[in-house]
Chain A
């Protein structure tokens, strides 16, 4: 399973990447897209929405099932990936290139703590191995 080392992971199968401008880019993992199968619809959060870490804020629907996406960090949604919403199958094609939304944290320190609480690639990979 593909789990890039430069990302942080939630046990609920989202990935998060801290950008140079302090925002955090979020998507779902390769394992998640594989488990969901053909993805046909993305319901992304409205720009401007303020979310808390762990809050449901998007839905990924495959032919098979709907899956809730949780915000890995707290902050304001500053961008949703409309190109992904227009071509949901791009998540299947490359789950790491196809980000879903970006969150701008209110405070960098709190965000660092939240990111620190997420899994690194090795730990996330281990949770997958444990469920197989």
Chain B
């Protein structure tokens, strides 16, 4: 049975074409994926990201637990509301998931994980909880029930309830996203206007407690807001009235690809280490005394590949898992699509070392070899073409 976010009816009302995404029924587009893409690059668009899972971590050992769980180091988070992107690794150094963690105090964090990996993530996180004085609470709603999972040391239990603590998440993205958000919700302006990039604030209003974060997955400015599930429809409607265009998962994918952001399950998975996915910058080894899961294995992982971008020079469309032929050996595309901003096809790829930015390579598409140029894996940011 497919899962529905609290915004399901809002999507249907906006003319969404719905598809299955990790067992969630989600909008792929509302008419034209390309128009939605341009709306985010040029003005403001919004995405229902309630299928992703928000978790609250609370307890005296919360900080110590995350320093063990994550490859990036939450110790660098000292300002309340500051967010951090990290991989969660298994013992072999493979990526279980990538996530964002928000710091409120050393005893309290919010974590947001991917939809398709939620169940295995929670199982893994619960396993690691053992021995730590911390509790993990799931803040999501399926059709009408929400699972709540609490762990106090090894005392882990699970119960179901009807959604009192459930949240919905909406990403409002684009150069005009913040302005339009403030038009819709002037009561949240004073709290959210001072936010720096990758910073969040808990903002209370008559409609309940919101989390407003200056984060996103599009390469544009904007907010990701977390609201009580019961307030989701009203929130969406007010943003719509403020001129924010509903955007589906299709545009979300081309926007993140242009921004050079990895997609879990496509650019990386449990067989891939952060080093093979261009995410070395997220593995924090500065504190030599910190022993995070996967750390010792990372030293043994392959370092003979690099993660780069490809710009297709011939006509066609790059897709994931196409063979790349270079003078140094073969590589593979991990994500590929048509870039609406560049009006040209782009891809992320794992390539042999010694291939340099600016080199020309070939990509095997069906029975043809098409020419592509190696570029830095960031194609468009803040509305600007970087190629």
Contacts and interface: CB of A to CB of B under 8 A. Distances in A.
Interface of A: 37-38, 40-41, 43, 59, 61, 63-64, 66
Interface stretch (B29-37, B91-99, B113-121, B179-187): B29-37
B47 interface: no
A38 B32 contact: yes
B34 A41 contact: no
Contacts of A66: 317, 319
A1 to B, nearest CB: 14
A41 B29 CA distance: 19
B338 A61 contact: yes
Contact of A37 (B29, B315, B345): B29
A37 B34 CA distance: 9
B250 A64 contact: yes
Contact of B34 (A38, A43, A59, A61): A38
Contacts, number: 32
Nearest to A41: B317
Given A37-B29, A38-B32, A38-B33, A63 B338 contact: yes
Nearest to A64: B250
Contact of B366 (A37, A38, A41, A59): A59
Interface of B: 28-29, 32-34, 250, 254, 315-317, 319, 337-338, 340, 345, 366
B337 A63 contact: yes
8 contacts: A37-B33, A37-B250, A38-B34, A61-B338, A63-B250, A63-B338, A63-B340, A64-B33
Q: Which of A41, A43, A59, A61 has the most CB of B within 10 A?
A: A61
A43 B32 CA distance: 22
Contacts of B340: 63
Given A37-B32, A64-B33, 8 more contacts: A37-B250, A59-B366, A61-B316, A63-B34, A63-B250, A63-B254, A63-B340, A64-B250
Nearest to A59: B366
A45 to B, nearest CB: 13
A61 B345 CA distance: 11
B260 to A, nearest CB: 18
A38 B316 CA distance: 14
Nearest to B312: A41
A40 B317 contact: yes
B317 to A, nearest CB: 4
B26 to A, nearest CB: 14
B250 A40 contact: no
A56 to B, nearest CB: 9
A98 B34 CA distance: 20
Contacts of B33: 37-38, 63-64
Given A59-B366, A63-B33, A40 B319 contact: no
Contacts of A63: 33-34, 250, 254, 337-338, 340
Contacts of B28: 37, 64
A63 B29 CA distance: 12
A41 B368 CA distance: 15
Q: What 6 A-B pairs are tightest by C-beta distance, nearest first? A: A40-B338, A61-B317, A38-B34, A63-B338, A41-B317, A38-B33
